[in-house]
Chain A
């Protein structure tokens, strides 16, 4: 058996004798399990709620009586964002984004009823998910287990003894690293097991689960290695502990909070009000369909008349107002889409600023990776909004076409079409996002985590040389 594995075993033996260490580890594992349980339960409750709401609004849409199609354009549809299966593991931004959007004609409404807006400030302390425990608390446990790993041997002079017996500094460090790396993986094990069960049950993709486990393994290893390296480089275990807690505080607590402040100063987000006002102005610039002398809509009328081969609007086989609605919807949608893209661009710019600092604070990397794989990141939310908007445009235009094509055949001053037509309008079916479709969201965080591990490995080599020299 090599010296390194002997040292690793000895490290486990020492730690296994440490009742408090075992209690703390057991508590953390318990917390991971509690977080899994409450978070799963919470996810299924939210999911059931949203499904129930979606079914009930779909039903009421079908149940609407005979109406003018334009009334249905404004009756609109509500869509609810389904939660991704792995959102129990990492709730991501779900609590901070509205999860229901009211879709109607010529307006893009905001996603409303975000949980964070309806909770007390307690929510800002964090949400109890397995991701929170693994990202925030597990590193502290690993620090407490590892801070004295090498320093203890130094203080008791056992290190000198080992080196005198011909054990190389590298073997000592390697042994400690193996010991604490195994502990780090063991700490993550319960969470990984839950993920694997989830994948085996078919509730989540194997690919996402595998990468999630790899990512968190890298994250936990990073702290174990950091603990050993600092323990080897620092003077006394006490100093190592202070340094490690300081690092944890900066990396896990301080930077993730402070960086967004700097990022929000990077670029200004236009308010919804400004966007609406600008949009209204843009629309007026294009033209006013009520103005008989409006050049844009006069051209549009000429085109329509030419297309149908008639001379006047009255001769058209379709309702002209319906055609104007279709054209108007096309124009407003374009302008709204431009505004939405601008907003996404500004937000992405802010977020990219924060992500760039993941090199300094790898928490940002693991958080990004975890949210992306769980399908609860901002990209997934954008994707939902995008799908909802596509769906909105489609159903509004269907209703507009109904108005153009069906109304001319109906007499009376209150023309309505049969309620049977409402069943022809499709219902929203959300197509879950594939995290692998946006692979840059995965590659960069992985690169950062591996880069940290690589850098720490280099430091470990330096530490090995240092303890050898110090012993001589």
Chain B
């Protein structure tokens, strides 16, 4: 037979099995459904932002109407004008929604203390968030291994059980397993990747991003096929092989990640968030009970340009009020840094775990690329903080120079500009995943190449055989 016809014969063989066909169609359907759900979620978030923006325009118009004018006081305007910040879904979010179902993507801030505003939650339904999102990343990380198990666990054992193995191995020519594994690998990757590519086209996502996601999927898929060859060639029966692989899947995607999460939560507490909120409140309210000069002195440390303009008559002036809020923010800077450090530490530990756990590594690469992880949320918070600074600084001249705040001034209030996606390629994580994937494939192909010998010597797979043996004996 010529080379192409061997391949097409193998392909027919692959698809003639009801189980294989069902598994592949199921994967295609699930991947499509997940991409569709991801696109729906992204569209929903865009629509929400649009809706909020429209409301915001009306609200600001009302505030301007009531507070800005020839007699307008910047203090009132700054107090009532909440400015909208928005974090629209990045282009790749549809494939890996990550934390975007929980983290706010619209947040209003005003020139008051930022630390009392930055951590506010938006409305989401906690019970719907509880099981985790259904997106392409989920299908890849959780469900693809099961499809690989369905297609790949009985490569060798299936032939042995039907008595064809010796015949197959005695046939001239080489590359039997390479063809069979390659064919399955390609089919699985196509069923999984095709909907992603279509989704990428629909969402006009960057080609390089989609390509890296496919590469990540290919490596992860490689890991599981490698494992399938390794286990399938080492065990005697198909049931044993399947059960052993399911055992691997449980340990790698259900048990170790949850154990690790419990450990990380325990070793890296994040209580500083509450600490800084409480400390900031004390600072701001304490300001009412101390001489105003004290507050101004602290304020001038970082804003020396307004020194000499702090005098005012009477008991209250907005410039003192906003200075007091700023001093409250500055007083908790160390707590803020510690809080951020604890969040970053949790991310870092998760990243390290991803170096050895392919599922977690895949999760890290996809969500860092899509910018939908904690890092993306922190980048959004940073951009809000930068905007808040520009907002304060916009108002200071009006406040400290007692300038009127007219409608024209209101129109000049800085607007937040949505940041660009800061999704990055987590090269280290991808490299580690590549290493794991290729290592598994290499070991698997070594093992399967010796499968003829294995069938005579009743080779046993290392480790993870608990479920496998169980199935073998009860069988």
Contact = CB atoms under 8 A, between A and B. Distances in A.
Interface stretch (A126-134, A444-452, A456-464): A126-134
A284 B58 CA distance: 14
A185 interface: no
Nearest to B253: A125
A24 B467 contact: yes
A295 B322 CA distance: 34
A276 B122 CA distance: 12
B424 interface: no
Contact of A118 (B58, B253, B273, B350): B273
A466 B31 CA distance: 38
Contacts of B288: 67, 71
Interface string B285-321: 1001100000000000000000000000001000000
A8 to B, nearest CB: 15
Summarize B's interface: helix, strand, loop or mixed. Answer: helix
Given A128-B262, A140-B250, A253-B142, A75 B471 contact: no
Interface string A313-339: 000000000000000000000000000
A167 interface: no
Nearest to B364: A121
Contacts of A378: 126-127
A193 B257 CA distance: 26
Contacts of B367: 121
Contact of A119 (B62, B265, B285, B360): B265
A277 B56 contact: yes
Interface stretch (B4-12, B236-244, B324-332): B236-244
Contacts of A78: 278
A341 interface: no
A355 to B, nearest CB: 9
Task: Determine which residue in B84, B134, B347, B367 has the highest number of CB atoms from chain A within 10 A of its CB, and name it.
Answer: B134
B278 A128 contact: no
Contact of A271 (B48, B132, B255, B346): B48
A411 interface: no
B125 A351 contact: yes
Nearest to B271: A49
B131 A125 contact: no
Interface in A195-229: none
Contact of A351 (B33, B128, B277, B278): B128
B453 interface: no
Nearest to B266: A42
A93 B260 contact: no
B106 A27 contact: no
Report the interface size class on chain B: 35 or more
Contacts of B48: 271
A115 interface: yes
A264 interface: yes
Contacts of A254: 30, 143
Contact of A137 (B55, B254, B289, B364): B254
Contact of B121 (A24, A111, A242, A278): A111
A269 B101 CA distance: 12
Interface in A263-317: 263-265, 269-278, 280-281, 284
A23 interface: yes
A114 B121 contact: yes
B40 interface: yes
A25 to B, nearest CB: 9
A438 interface: no
Interface in A141-188: 144-145, 147-149, 152
A431 interface: no
Interface in A34-83: 34, 38-39, 41-42, 45, 49, 53, 56-57, 60, 64-65, 67, 71, 74-76, 78
Interface in A244-261: 245, 249, 253-254, 256-258, 260-261
B363 A121 contact: yes
Interface string B98-138: 11001100101000000000011111111111111110001
Interface in B63-94: 82, 84
Contact of B40 (A238, A249, A265, A276): A265
B19 interface: yes
Smallest CB-CB A-B distances: 5 pairs:
A20-B469, A125-B257, A20-B470, A120-B350, A260-B128
Given A96-B129, A258-B33, A261-B41, 6 more contacts: A24-B247, A110-B121, A121-B363, A128-B259, A237-B239, A350-B125
24 contacts: A14-B474, A19-B473, A20-B466, A76-B281, A109-B120, A111-B121, A112-B120, A122-B350, A126-B132, A137-B254, A152-B475, A241-B242, A241-B471, A242-B19, A245-B246, A249-B146, A258-B134, A260-B134, A269-B123, A269-B124, A273-B84, A347-B127, A351-B125, A354-B127
